[in-house]
Amino acid sequence: MVSENVKFLEKEKKVNFILIIFLFINSGKVDSISSKIKRKKDARTTHIIIQGAVGLSIYSWLVPSGFKIKDKMGLLVGLWTPFVWTNGQYVLAKASYPVTKEQAILSGWGAFDGLLHGMFLKDPEENGFLFPLVTSLTENIGGFFLAKLTRPTRGIITRRILQSINGYVLGSALSRAFDDIHNEGKWIGITSILLGYGSYALSLIYKDNFTTSGDALFELASANALGLSFTLLFNNNEKTQYYAYALGNCMGYALGMYLSKKNNLSFSKGILSLLIPSIVSGAMIGSLALAEVDENTTSIVSAIIIPLNTYATYYILK
């Protein structure tokens, strides 16, 4: 009986020894995998770094300016605002675990975009900086929770950012088309908001989860190409040009979205879809100017080669 117990204990020791060796060998792999999963899911550090930069570059001057705090007190508030803001964001990120990179990007962009929206909608020279401060904070914090709620892809975030930028140009064109240049700022602000958040909403409604950042860049290239093309075709009247640009821009964006659904471009290919047509079209149009071709012919040829180069580049890259 004693010998059987001894044999059993020896077997158990061998099993335990093998188990310990197995765990020791694989512990590094398990820790590595778990740490990678944590790093992939959580982007709190990225968020805090972005918000620290936002606090330094925007809120350090916007907070004292918004509340009209001047002199030494204004300087003191400006110096401490980035510290307070960054610590507040640390607490927010910790409470909202896990934080995604999409949250970090959308909230960081919202701070900058919201500032511009506020400044365009209400001129700071007449109304001060309180409204831009409110819009910046709203789009910053709102963007953080919007991304957490809707879980967008990186491509949808890129589309929202690029279409917001596109809205600044389109809004300026619309203000001139409707002879309302005195309210150009409001046109720019409203158009940017509508395009930025409108494209974001449409992407979520149609569950466009396969859109890449490269696709979003091509959509912008397509919008610019048809916008410029229509402007060159209808250059007889200045007002007509602005209508033409707005129409071409919208049509180009819609066409870009349609084409981008068929192929998922990488970010680098998206950059090339913007860069290559610009270089080639610039060289062609410059050559026409050097050849002293008449203005009307140059406009027509340019209107054809700009979109042609853009869509040809897309088909080569896809």
Residue range 249-260, pLDDT digits in tens: 999 999 998 998
Mean pLDDT along residues 274-285: 93
Mean pLDDT along residues 138-149: 95
Mean pLDDT along residues 178-192: 93
Mean pLDDT along residues 284-297: 88
**Predicted confidence (pLDDT) at residue 112 exceeds the cutoff of 50:** yes
**Predicted confidence (pLDDT) at residue 3 exceeds the cutoff of 80:** no
Check residue 261 and give its pLDDT.
Answer: 81
Check residue 24 and give its pLDDT.
Answer: 45
Check residue 293 and give its pLDDT.
Answer: 86
Q: Where are the domains of the chain?
A: 43-151
Mean pLDDT along residues 163-185: 93
Check residue 105 and give its pLDDT.
Answer: 96
Maximum pairwise Cα distance, the chain: 111
Check residue 198 and give its pLDDT.
Answer: 94
Check residue 115 and give its pLDDT.
Answer: 97
**Predicted confidence (pLDDT) at residue 306 exceeds the cutoff of 60:** yes
Mean pLDDT of the chain: 87
Q: How far apart are CA 166 and CA 163, in angstroms?
A: 5
Please write the tens of the pLDDT for every residue from 29-75: 433 433 444 444 688 999 999 999 999 999 999 999 999 999 999 99
pLDDT > 90 fraction of the chain, expressed in percent and rounded: 70
Closest CA to 152 of 197, 103, 119: 103
**Predicted confidence (pLDDT) at residue 222 exceeds the cutoff of 50:** yes
Check residue 32 and give its pLDDT.
Answer: 41
Q: How far apart are CA 286 and CA 274, in angstroms?
A: 18
Check residue 34 and give its pLDDT.
Answer: 39
Check residue 185 and give its pLDDT.
Answer: 94
Check residue 179 and give its pLDDT.
Answer: 87
Check residue 246 and give its pLDDT.
Answer: 94
**Predicted confidence (pLDDT) at residue 315 exceeds the cutoff of 50:** yes
Mean pLDDT along residues 276-301: 90
**Predicted confidence (pLDDT) at residue 300 exceeds the cutoff of 70:** yes
Check residue 237 and give its pLDDT.
Answer: 81
Query: For residue 205, what pLDDT band results from cuts at 50, 70 and 90?
Result: confident
Q: How far apart are CA 159 and CA 195, in angstroms?
A: 10
